[in-house]
Amino acid sequence: MSKSPRISGQEHSGLINVLKQASDGLLFMSESEYPFEVFLWDDSAEKDITPELVIQKIGLPLDTPVEIVELDSFFQVAIAEQDWHSSEDKKTVKKFQNLVKILKENLNNIKVMRFGTINIDVYIIGKTANERLAGLSTKVVET
């Protein structure tokens, strides 16, 4: 009988701190700018990452429209350095590149779910080493 790996509370707080540090000061740009919030759902072990599960966790109506996108696709504009970027813009791009790297290094089976149509709740969610669900949330405004 094999045991699934377990992460101690200290390791969980380490993951939360790593995600907080990587996202600190970053605002996701849309028609408005919102910060990222870190979450860890302790009671979610062994559950698949589905829109229904996330809707249940965050308390949205069951008929909320949802779109699932790839992590790299979601961050595409934020992680692409442009010739016209200022040195400050380039620093921000590097921070976003680091954030994506940290997410990929610390979470498995990452999904990006967008809930809603104009004021969109975005959840970047994956599984930790011990099958808990964790990630980042933010808002996007698209009219």
65: nearest Cα among 80, 79, 76, 51: 51
pLDDT tens column, 88-120: 888 999 999 999 999 999 999 999 999 999 999
CATH code linked to domain 30-141 = 3.40.1460.10
- pTM score: 0.87
- Collapsing DSSP to helix, strand or coil, 112 comes out as strand
pLDDT tens column, 14-29: 889 999 999 999 999 8
Say if CB 56 and CB 113 are below 8 A apart: no
Domain ranges of the chain: 30-141
Distance CA 127, CA 107 (A): 5
